[in-house]
Amino acid sequence: MPHFLDIHTTAPSDLRAMIDSAHAMKSARKGLPMAAPDQDQPLANRMVALIFEKPSTRTRVSFDVGVRQMGGQTMVLSGSEMQLGHGETIADTARVLSRYVDMIMIRTFEETVLHELAEYASVPVINGLTNRTHPCQIMADIQTYEEHRGPIAGRRVVWSGDGNNVCASFLHAAGQFGFDLVFTGPEALDPEPEFVALARGQGVQVDIIRDPVRAVEGADLVVTDTWVSMHDSQSNRERRHNLLRPYQVNDALMAHAKPDALFMHCLPAHREEEVTNSVMDGPQSVVFDEAENRLHAQKAVMRYCLGV
């Protein structure tokens, strides 16, 4: 069945269809209040389980609202309520939930939890985030870029900072959507070589450039993310700040990108750390369009998974 586990495991034609669907659903809702139902109700009489082992704002609200707009209902479950993989095996949890709900979205830590859940579930499973990847975010980012600048194929995307899970999904998307990607950051925080090799193997250019100024030259899109996780110790926070400070996205750095380059951040942002207020709130920033598009892109993902 069509799970949505990662961008590189989903066919490019299906990814393109989802982006087109997201654009269409967003356009159809123009002027409607958020609580108003979509004209089309593809999730009517459907129940979706939303599992959060990791806390969330955008993922929780956007999935919940999206299901409701399409006529479905949600059951929100936290990791503490379920003790996933502790009191009961993940495989058994997957089998049981499949008897109660029509689809499962999970935001978790370990990628193995996601894959085991998908292996044993008899309903579609969506990756809401793992420590390794964040595909739903990048679907929203692709949608956002294209609604502002047209097709992303052939463009130059620059990731500045930590080669984390969001960066990993950007690498997956580069190969599937046909854009080039430059990573600029400290060597200790490089993206996984496997993901770099995967994108290069699909014929796109992936460069690692330590000098951020040189990296952003000719960029169509500049992206960053937080430097520290909520789980990091104080000593690790200080170490990461020292490593990443040269890669802050500020006006001086953006001046070296194309004049019409966009800036993205998946949020939440630590303002004046990885990005300055002047960039975050400036004319090149589309971060709040990006946040909104989580709703529309994920609705398209859910429709794909259910074949509706």
Residues annotated catalytic, as ranges = 107, 134, 137, 225, 266, 294
Which residues neighbour 64 within 8 Å (Cβ) at sequence distance 6 or greater?
50, 74, 76
Classified as helix, coil or strand, 182 is strand
Which residues neighbour 168 within 8 Å (Cβ) at sequence distance 6 or greater?
132, 133, 134, 191, 192, 195
Block residue for tokens 């309903």: 123
Task: Give the phi and the psi of residue 46 in degrees, each rounded to 5.
Answer: -110, 145
Burial 36-75 (b: 16+ CB within 10 A, else e): eebeeeebeebebbbbbbbeeebbbebbbbbbbbbebebe
R_g of the chain computed on alpha carbons: 19
Alpha helices in 101-202 (DSSP H): 111-120, 135-149, 165-177, 193-201
Which residues neighbour 274 within 8 Å (Cβ) at sequence distance 6 or greater?
161, 224, 225, 226, 227, 244, 247, 248, 249, 265
Please report, as a single letter, which amino acid is at residue 306. Answer: L
Residue 198's CB is within 10 A of a number of other CB atoms, namely 18
Residue 13's CB is within 10 A of a number of other CB atoms, namely 9
CA separation for the pair 223, 144 (Å, rounded): 13
Closest CA to 221 of 268, 274, 258: 258
